[in-house]
């Protein structure tokens, strides 16, 4: 990763994500950014394909090429999906094609993949907590444990809400509730287990509003519009 962002053309949509978006940031928190860019269309048909992701620090920014972002979103990836549900003020780049992507965000969703992705990530967080033992930890490890606990609770809440209602609540209504949960789990990692079990039961007993499979047709149509737009733009630039 480079210390500064390399030039990345054709950013379609970009915004502030992570703890700042959730309302969990503190004075020393990094500001994380996520975005979608379009690779030059002509580069996609050559022997060597262009990079599909650009990840930098200072600033902390991840940009995924349009096709990769779409594949990740179709898999239910929580980090990627939140870009399409940000509060308006957190978007820093919004192009017409970016707005089109937001408009078809429901097409990426399916009940099975949302459940598997969000509960899967939450379970991974719990395993990290469990492996750290009984809370006799350094201050640094306790803070990291509290952070993982906050994200476990957030993933459960966001994933279940998306599964039950079709809406993804990026900004948390009561961030202090999540901080208190993190402090509790930092003292005893097993304190997270009842929450995880509660949400597993909630998923099991709720009929999702989401379809059984995502609708790839509008996603494919959007991606083809992206390719066409940047092919036409490149041809015009070459002719001028």
Looking at the structure, tell me whether residues 149 and 188 fall in a common domain: yes
Q: Is residue 27 part of a domain?
A: yes
- Answer whether residue 43 is part of any domain: yes
Asked if residue 135 is part of any domain, the answer here is yes
Residue 6 forms part of a structural domain: no
In-domain check, residue 217:
no
Structural domain includes residue 219 = no
Structural domain boundaries, residue 29: 11-108
Same-domain pairing of 175 and 87: no
Looking at 76, 108, 140, the residue that finishes a domain is 108
Instruction: Note whether 97 and 147 are same-domain residues.
Output: no
- Do 123 and 101 share a structural domain? no
**164 and 153 share one domain:** yes
98 and 131, same domain (yes or no):
no
pLDDT given at position 137? 60
Is residue 117 located within the same domain as residue 36? no
Are 86 and 133 in the same domain?
Answer: no
Tell whether 100 and 15 lie within a shared domain: yes
Residue 216 maps to a domain: no
Using CA atoms, how far residue 34 sits from 110, 153, 193, in Å, is 22, 22, 31
Residue 118 and residue 201 in one domain: yes
- Number of structural domains (the chain) is 2
Q: Are 22 and 99 members of one domain?
A: yes
Q: What is the pLDDT along the chain (240 residues), one digit of tens a residue?
A: 334 444 566 999 999 999 999 999 887 788 999 999 999 888 888 778 888 999 998 789 999 999 999 999 999 999 999 999 999 999 999 999 999 999 999 999 999 999 999 999 999 888 877 776 555 567 778 888 899 999 999 999 999 999 999 999 999 999 999 999 999 998 888 999 999 999 999 999 999 999 999 999 999 999 999 999 988 665 555 555
pLDDT at residue number 13: 98
Residues 74, 116, single domain; the answer is no
Query: For the residues of the chain, what is the DSSP string, one character each?
Result: -BSSPPP---EEEEEEEHHHHHT---TT---EEEEEE---GGGGGSSSPPPSEEEETTTEEEEEEHHHHHHHHHTT-HHHHGGGG--GGGEEEE-HHHHHHHHTGGGG--HHHHHHHHHHHHHHHHHHHHHT-SS---HHHHHHHHHHHHHHHHHHHHHHHHHHHS----S-S-HHHHHHHHHHHHH-GGGGHHHHHHHHHHHHH---SS-SS--HHHHHHHHHHHHHHHHHHHHHHHH-
Q: Does 237 map to a domain?
A: no
């Amino acid at each position: 990763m480079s210390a500064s962002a390399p030039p990345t053309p054709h950013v379609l949509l970009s915004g502030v994500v992570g703890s700042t978006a959730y309302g969990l940031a503190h004075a020393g928190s990094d500001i994380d950014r996520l975005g979608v860019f379009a690779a030059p269309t002509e580069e996609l048909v050559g022997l060597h394909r262009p990079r599909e992701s650009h990840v930098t620090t200072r600033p902390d920014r991840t940009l995924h090429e349009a096709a990769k972002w779409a594949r990740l979103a179709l898999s239910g990836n929580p980090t990627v999906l939140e870009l399409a549900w940000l509060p308006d003020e957190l978007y820093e780049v919004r192009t017409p094609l970016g707005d089109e992507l937001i408009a078809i965000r429901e097409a990426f969703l399916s009940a099975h993949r949302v459940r598997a992705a969000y509960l899967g990530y939450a379970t991974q967080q719990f395993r990290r907590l469990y492996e750290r033992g009984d809370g006799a930890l350094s201050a640094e490890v306790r803070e990291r444990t509290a952070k993982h606990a906050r994200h476990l609770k957030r993933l459960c809440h966001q994933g279940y809400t998306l599964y039950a209602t079709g809406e993804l609540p990026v900004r948390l209504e009561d961030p202090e509730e999540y901080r208190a949960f993190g402090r509790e789990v930092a003292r005893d990692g097993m304190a997270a287990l009842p929450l995880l079990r509660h949400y597993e039961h909630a998923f099991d007993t709720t009929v999702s509003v989401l379809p059984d499979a995502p609708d790839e047709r509008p996603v494919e149509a959007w991606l083809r519009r992206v390719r066409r737009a940047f092919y036409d733009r490149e041809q015009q630039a070459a002719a001028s």
